[in-house]
Structure 1
Amino acid sequence: MKDKLMRAKVLIALFILGAVAACNKDKFTTEPKLTFKSVNGEIFGQGAQVRFVIGATDKEGDIKDTLWVQRRSFKCPEFVSDSGVAYPLSPDLVKKNNLDFEFEVAYNYDVSIAPILVGCSGKDDSCYFRFWIKDDANHTSDTVVSPTIVLLDQ
């Protein structure tokens, strides 16, 4: 009886260990993977800093190429485009297999300190942002989307 109970416990432990290993196996892929982590608010007045935190993983760890950011506005057609703005990623990232890190994308809303996030002229704006990256081997990640934020005109 003890022997059967011990075998059952071992089988259950092996099953759980296998399930955890299978979940981790898909975490790192050749194409970079992004996850949207947070934004530091929902409503921003002029002079505020808007900060997005994005998580990234990559099997080869060669994420050093380009970050693309696209703003999609609900109220200002001048901020709706099919392409994003490209930013070089930090050369300080250490290339290592199974790279897992977070990075921050920050804008200064309607102030003269770069990078500047410009608001609508004469009205509040509701918008969201899309983010994707390209690694050194030209692999493009999935696209992650921020929640909708409001940029106040005043």
Structure 2
Amino acid sequence: MKAVPAILVSSAIVVLFACSKDKFETKPRLEIKDYNTRDISSGGELVIRLNYFDKEGDLGQAAFTAIRVRTNALSLPPTQEKADTFRYPLPEFPDKDNGEITFRMPYDFLRESISPLINDSMIFRFAVVDRAGNASDTLDSEPIIVRAQ
């Protein structure tokens, strides 16, 4: 009969520790907050706002990566020189455990097909590595359409 209270106490301790777990982890986490549009026309711009969460808050000047993944069979010009991987340091800002990162890409850079009749389609993959070397999981955007003219 004394074993039952011990099991209840042990269960209560496990529940307390599980419930008190912080939502922030050492490994940074990204999530997409919003898009200005996912259908970009000539003269437009893609803007994706991402929220970040990081227990130590050491993402200022951290390495940010965005990778374009083409999702259609488009006809690229033979001298295609536009990058698909974008790596750059985030700006310096005070250590915060959460905040926002804004990714921008103009239509003229996104549009690559040599056919004026074929839309381009793609997704972007995002990741960040904090100053301590902790890498986030990769986050995929929703499909993006870049209109032909």
Same fold (TM over 0.5): yes
Give the match for residue 86 of structure 1: 87
Q: Sequence identity of aligned pairs in percent? A: 28
- CA RMSD in angstroms comes to 2.3
**Residue 56 (structure 1) shift:** 0.3
Give, in whole Å, the separation in 1 of the partners of 2:41 and 2:70.
Answer: 16
Q: Structure 1: any 5+ residue segments left out of the alignment?
A: 1-17, 111-115
Cα deviation code 1:40-59 (max 9, x no counterpart): 11211121011001010111
Give the match for residue 45 of structure 2: 49
Q: Structure 2: any 5+ residue segments left out of the alignment?
A: 1-15
Q: Is the CA contact (8 Å cut-off) linking 1:119 and 1:153 kept in structure 2?
A: no
- How many pairs were matched up? 124
**Residue 142 (structure 1) shift:** 1.0
Cα deviation code 1:67-125 (max 9, x no counterpart): 1000111124869xxx832011011x2114xx111121111111xxxxx4343221211
Cα deviation code 1:15-43 (max 9, x no counterpart): xxx69954x61x21111111112111121
Give, in whole Å, the separation in 2 of the partners of 1:118 and 1:19.
Answer: 51
Give, in whole Å, the separation in 2 of the partners of 1:139 and 1:77.
Answer: 38
Secondary structure of residue in 1 paired with 2:112 = coil
Give, in whole Å, the separation in 1 of the partners of 2:17 and 2:26.
Answer: 22
Q: TM-score w.r.t. structure 1 length?
A: 0.71
Q: 2:113 aligns with which of 110, 120, 123?
A: 120
Instruction: Output aligned runs, 1:1-154, within 5 Å.
Output: 22=20, 25=22, 27-63=23-59, 64-75=61-72, 76=74, 84-91=85-92, 93-96=93-96, 99-110=97-108, 116-122=109-115, 123-154=118-149
Give, in whole Å, the separation in 2 of the partners of 1:134 and 1:147.
Answer: 22
Q: TM-score w.r.t. structure 2 length?
A: 0.73
Any runs of at least 4 consecutive aligned residues in structure 1 with deviations exceeding 4 A, and if so which?
Answer: 18-21
